[in-house]
Amino acid sequence: MPSSVPASRDPGPSGEPPAEGLTIRFVLNGRTVEARVEPHRTLLWVLREVFDLVGAKEGCGVGECGACTVLLDGEAVNACLVLAGKVDGREVTTVEGLGGPEALHPLQQWFIRKHAVQCGYCTPGMLLSAAALLRRNPDPTREEIREALAGNLCRCTGYVQIVEAVRAAAREMAGR
Amino acid sequence: MPRGAVGSRSPRRDLLDKVLGRVRFAADLKVPGMLHLVVVRSTEAHARVTGIDVGEAAAVPGVVRVFTAADVPGENRYGIIRPTADQHLLAEGRVRMVGDPVALVAAETPEAAAEGARRVRVAYEPLPAVLDPAEALEAAAVRIHERGNLCFEQRVVRGDVDRALSEAAVVVEGTYETSRIEHAYIEPEAGVAYLEDGVLVVVCCTQNPHYDRRDLCRLLGLPEERVRVIQAPTGGGFGGKLDLSVQPFVALATWHTGRPCRLVYSREESFAASSKRHPFRMRYRTAADREGRLLAVEADLLADTGAYASYGLAVAIRAAVHAAGPYRVPNVRVRSRAVYTNHPFSGAMRGFGAPQVAFGYESQMDRVADALGLDPLEVRRRNALGPGEHTITGQRLGPSVGLRECLERVGRVRARWDGAPGLRGDGPVGVGVGAMYYGIGNTGMSNPSTAHVRFDEDGGFTLFTGAAEIGQGSDRVLTAVCADALGVDPDRVRLVRADTALTADAGATSASRQTYISGGAVLEAGQALGERILRRAEDLLEIPAEDLVIEGDRVRSRSLPSREVPLEEVASSFAKAGGMPREEGRFDPETTPLDRESGQGVPYATYAFAAQVARVRVDPVTGRVRVERIAAAHDVGRGVHPPGVRGQITGGVAMGVGMALMEAFDPGRDRNLDTYLIPTAADMPRVHPMIVEAPEPTGPFGAKGVGEPALIPTAPAVLNALARACGARIWRLPAGLEEVLEALGRGKE
C-alpha cells in the first residue's frame, strides 16, 4: 500500500546537508525552523525535501499552475519561484498549517461541503490562494474570487464548486 | 427500508485528507535508498538510431547504471490495445517522434541522473518525417510502421445514402477540423518501484493497474504473480494515464539493480511523453427533408494518431459509431480512419473521438436548421432518438433514453436568457445548442468488471475493487452501491481499491464505464453477500430468510419488527463457524462486435445523453469571446452522488470551453503551461448543471455514466453560439481571436 512505503526524513535526496550553502531561519506554520540549503534551492524544494511537507505540489515548475502556492508573510506566492534565501526571517504557511483535522479552516470545511475537490492535486494551492484573498478582502464578489484564483489551475472541477466554497467560507468567517 | 447511500449528497470520504494536504501522491513517496531516474528522449521526429554511447554517462559520479533496449528482458513492445501494440520501452534502432525514450539513467541523486542523461550520446540518422495524415496515406509516403501508415479504419454503412441525398429538400456540406489537445492533469506522472519478497511492486498514478501489470510482465518477461501494481492517489487522468508512463522505467531499473527507484516527470517531460487528443479532419454531408428530419449523414473522418497506435483503434471506431449524433438517421455512410504520423502519439482523451465528431455533426444540425429557417433546438427535437428507436449501427435502444427531456430542460433555461441583460460588456451575443449521445464502456467488445465484498468480523464490510479512482469519484459511487446492495450504512463499508495483489480486474477507468460496469459488479457481489447474511440470520433468529431484511446495522424481521439481530452478532457467528464470507460479482454488458464492412452491431449496452446551451458575447474589437452562461442537462440514468455528477458536468464544461476557444497543442512550441493555456477560474461561464434520470434497467440502481458526456456538447454549443454572434461559422477549433475576427468580417459581408 502507498501508505506503507516508509517515508524518509533525509535533509535532501542526496542524504547529506550540503557542504556549501546558506542557513535560513524562518517561521514555518507557526514554528521557527532552520535549514541549511544550497543557494539555488527553491522554497518548494525546502518544504518538500527538508521538512517533508508535501502538501505544496510541483505541477509545472515555472509558476504557471499554482499547485505550489503557499503564504509568504500572508501573501500567496508560487513556492517554485521563490529562492530559499528569500524566506530567511519571514513567515511561511503551507496547507499543513492552515488547519488541522480537529480544527479545519472554514475554507477547508466548505471545500468538503461544496464538493470543491476532485483529484485534490490543486487543492492545497487553491486553499492558500483563497485564504490570501479572504485576508485582504473578507467579502469578495464572485468575480473577485474568480480573478484571485485565476493563477491556480484545476483540470477536474471547472472551478464552479470551488468558487461556491470560497463564498460560503467568506460568509461564515464574516459571521453572516 | 433506509436505502439512501445512492442519491445521497453527503461529502466524499477522501476530501478530508485532500484539504489537509495529507494525501501522498506518487511524487510525494520516498523509499529509503531509492535511485532517481531520468529518461533520455529522442530529439528527432523520425530517425534511425545508429549508436548510443553510454560510457561517459556511466562514469558520472553517482550514476549507477544506464539502460538501453538491450536491457529489456522481455518483449520490448507494449500498447494498451494488444493487436496494435507498437511502443517500445526503449528505442530499438529507430525513433518515430520527438520524445521517444532512448535510454534510461539511474543514479543516487536527481542531479547525477540528469547529468548522466546529458552525457548519453545518441547518434541519429534522420529519416523524412510525415506530419500530415493525408500525406501519410499517399503511396509514396515513408512508412512509419512496417504495416503501413493506416492504423485503423472503420466504416458504418446503412441504407441508401445517394438516393437520400438526391431526394432531400436540403443538403449541407462542410469540412471541420479539431486540434491536438494535451490532457494537462495537474499531477505530472510519477511512480516508485521496489522489491518486496521477490515481488516487483510498482506504486504509480494510473487509470488501469491491471493493464499496467499485464504489459509490465510482458516487458520484463515475468509471470503475473511476480509483479504487483498499486495505484497511488492519482491527480487527474482524462485518458492520459491509461497508457504506461513511468511504470516500465521504474520497474526495469528496480528489476536490474534491486534498488527502489523513483521517476517523477517534470511538466515538460509529461507534455513530451504523454498521449494527446487526436486532431480530426471531418468532411460531412447532411441531408434533411422540408421539416428538418434527417434523411442521410455522410462523414469522412481522418484522425492523426501520431507515432504510435495507443488507443487510435478505439478512437476510430467510436468516432464512426457516434458520427451522426443522437438522432434517427436512416441512411448513413461513414468512413473513419486513424493514421500514423511522426507527431506525438494520440491516445485516449475524455470522449475517444466523440467530442471531435460532435463538433462536426452539431455544426451540421445548425446549418440544416438555418437552411430551413427552423429553430436549432426544434430540429434536434424532431430528430432526437427515443426509447425503442434505432441507432446508425442498427441497435434498438432500450428504455433509458433521456435526450428529449435534456433538450426540453435546456430549452426552458434558454427561454429565460432571452432578453436577459449580459453579464458584462457590449458586443454581439449568440446562443447555441449542442447535443450528444455516448456509449458507455468499450466498443463492441467484452469489458467486464469483477468485484468482491467481504463480511468482516466486526460486522463491517470490505469492498474490493480494481477500479482506479482518479478524482472523479468512483470510490464514492461504488461504496454507495455496495452499501445499498447490502442495505447497510455506507460508513460500514471499507474500501480496498486498485491493487493487483488484492483486487480483481475492474477494467480501465475510461469510457465512462466504472459507475455502470464496476457498479454492476459491486451490486451483484453485495446482493449475494446480503443473501448469505440473511440465511445465517435465519438460523440465529429462527425466522425464514424471506422474512428478513438487513437494515443499517442489524438484520430484522419484516413481519415481527421486534425480532432482530445486530450485524456484529451475525459476524461472530460466521467467525466461530470458521470464516467470514466473501462474494464475487461480475458484470459484462451485452454487446456484439461491429460488422467489419457495415459497422452494424450492438456496440454498447447503454448510452448517456445530453444537451447543452451556451450564450457567448464577442468583443468586436479584439475578437475575445466570453462564454457567459452554459446550461447543461445530462441523462445519467441515476445520479449516484449528485454533487459528484455536478462536479463532472462543470469540469467537463471547462474542458469543453478550452477545446472550443483555447487549446491547440503545438509540438514545436508547447513545453509547459506558460504557452499551452487551459481555462482558469476567470474563463469560466456561469454553469447551470441539470441531472436528468432516465433509469437504465441493467445499471446499478439505474445508473449509467457522465464523465466523458460532460465535455462533449460544450464545444459544439459554444461554436454554434459563436456562429450566431459573428454571423458566420468557424470551421476549425479552437476559435482563437484571429478566427473570431475573421468570422466577424465574413458575417458583415
> Per residue in B651-661, pLDDT tens?
999 999 999 99
Pick from B267, B471, B684: which is nearest to A158 by CB? Answer: B684
pLDDT (average), residues B247-254: 98
The pLDDT tens digits for B366-414 are: 999 999 999 999 999 999 999 999 999 999 999 999 999 999 999 999 9
pLDDT given at position A8: 36
pLDDT, tens digit, 9 for 90 and up, residues B321-332: 999 999 999 999
Tell me the chain B residues in contact with residue A10 when contact means C-beta distances shorter than 8 Å: 30
C-alpha grid cell, residue B207? 487509470
Q: Are residues B474 and B574 in the same domain?
A: yes
Q: Does domain A2-97 have CATH number 3.40.640.10?
A: no
Model pLDDT for residues B225-246, shown as the tens digit of each residue: 999 999 999 999 999 999 999 9
User: How far A84 CA lies from chain B's nearest CA (Å)?
Assistant: 18
Rounded CA separation A165/A145 (Å): 10
CA dist B554 and B143 (Å) reads 67
Choose, out of A95, A160, A164, the residue to mutate when testing the contact with B (most B CBs < 10 Å): A160
Domain that includes residue B722, residue range: 276-443+594-748
- Cα–Cα distance measured from residue B368 to residue B288, given in angstroms and rounded to the nearest whole number: 7
pLDDT tens, B696-731?
999 999 999 999 999 999 999 999 999 999 999 999
Q: Are residues B75 and B222 in the same domain?
A: yes
pLDDT tens-digit profile of B661-700? 999 999 999 999 999 999 999 999 999 999 999 999 999 9
Instruction: Kindly state whether residue B148 falls inside one of the protein's structural domains.
Output: no
Residue that has been written with the C-alpha cell 477540423 in this structure: B177
Residue A3 has pLDDT above 80, yes or no: no
Residue contact B31–A65, C-beta within 8 A: no
Closest residue to B673, CB basis, from A57, A65, A120: A65
Condensed to tens digits (0 to 9), the pLDDT of residues B106-119 reads 999 999 999 999 99
CB B320 within 8 A of CB B301: yes
Phi then psi dihedrals of residue A131, to 5 deg: -65, -40
Q: Is residue B690 part of a domain?
A: yes
Neighbours of B633 (CB within 10 A): 28
Asked if B184 and A146 come within 8 Å (Cβ–Cβ), the reply is no
> What are the sequence ranges of the domains in chain A?
2-97, 106-173
One fold for both A2-97 and A106-173? Answer: no
Task: Give the Å distances, CA to CA, from B516 to B240, B437, B448, B628, B651.
Answer: 21, 16, 11, 33, 20
Written as nine digits, the cell of B395 is 441497435
Same domain, B477 and B545: yes
Whether residue B199 is contained in a domain is answered as yes
Each residue's pLDDT tens digit, B619-650: 999 999 999 999 999 999 999 999 999 999 99
Residue A157 has pLDDT above 80, yes or no: yes
Give the mean model confidence (pLDDT) for residues B557-572.
96
Same domain, B460 and B411: no
**pLDDT interval class at B561 (50, 70, 90):** confident
Q: Point out the domain boundary residue: B246, B273, B300.
A: B273
In a domain, B438, yes or no: yes
Task: CATH number of the domain at B216, please.
Answer: 3.90.1170.50
Q: Look over chain B and give the mean of its residue pLDDT values, rounded to a whole number.
A: 97
A168-172, B8-12, B416-420, B463-467: which range is least confident on average? B416-420
CATH class of A106-173: mainly alpha
* Partner-chain contact B19 A117, CB within 8 Å: yes
pLDDT digits (tens, 9 = 90+) for B530-549: 999 999 999 999 999 999 99
Q: Does B201 lie in the same domain as B73?
A: yes
- Is a pLDDT exceeding 70 seen at residue B526? yes
Contact A161 B234 (CB under 8 A): no
Q: What's the pLDDT at A19?
A: 64
Q: What is the pLDDT of residues B509-518, one digit of tens each?
A: 999 999 999 9
Cβ <8 Å between A123 and B18: yes
Interacting residues of A136 by C-beta distance below 8 A, sequence separation 6+ = none
Q: For residues A93 and A73, what is the distance between their CA atoms, to the nearest angstrom?
A: 8
Query: The domain spanning residue B557 has which CATH number?
Result: 3.30.365.10
**Could you count the other beta carbons within 10 Å of the beta carbon of residue B160?**
13
| Percent of chain A whose predicted confidence (pLDDT) is above 90 | 86
How large is the average pLDDT for residues A55-79? 98
How much of chain B, in percent, has pLDDT values that exceed 70? 99
How do residues B80-107 score in pLDDT, each as one tens digit? 999 999 999 999 999 999 999 999 999 9
Rounded CA separation B361/B726 (Å) = 20
Domain boundary among B224, B255, B273: B273
What local confidence, expressed as pLDDT, does residue A20 receive? 74
Distance, CA of B380 to CA of B383 (rounded, Å)? 5
Clarify whether residues B563 and B671 are in a common domain: no
Q: Using 50, 70 and 90 to split pLDDT, how confident is the model at B506?
A: very high
Q: Is the pLDDT of residue B346 over 80?
A: yes
Is B29 part of the contact surface with chain A (CB cutoff 8 Å)?
A: yes
Question: How far, in Å, are B216, B248, B258, B353 from residue B88 at the CA level?
Answer: 12, 10, 23, 25
| Domain identity same for B281 and B269 | no
Domain boundary at B252, B273, B294, which?
Answer: B273
pLDDT of residue B421: 57
User: Using a CB-CB distance cutoff of 8 angstroms, which residues of chain B are in contact with residue A119?
Assistant: 185-187, 233-236, 470-471
Q: Which three cell numbers stand for residue B726?
A: 459573428
Higher pLDDT, A14 or A84: A84
The reported pLDDT for the residue numbered B426 is 79
Gap from B22 CA to chain A (nearest CA, Å): 7
pLDDT at position A18 over 90: no
pLDDT at A13 over 60: no
Residue B207, pLDDT above cutoff 80: yes
Q: Is A55's CB within 8 Å of B21's CB?
A: yes
Question: What are the grid coordinates assigned to B172, written together?
Answer: 449541407
How far is residue B522's CA from residue A9's CA, in Å, rounded to a whole number?
A: 40
- Predicted complex ipTM exceeds 0.90: yes
Report whether pLDDT(A37) > 80: yes
How many whole angstroms separate alpha carbon A138 and alpha carbon B23? 29
Q: How many domains does chain B have?
A: 3
Q: How far apart, in whole angstroms, are the C-alpha atoms of residue B664 and residue A16?
A: 44
Q: Residue B69 pLDDT > 50, yes or no?
A: yes
pLDDT tier at A14, thresholds 50, 70, 90: very low
DSSP B208: -
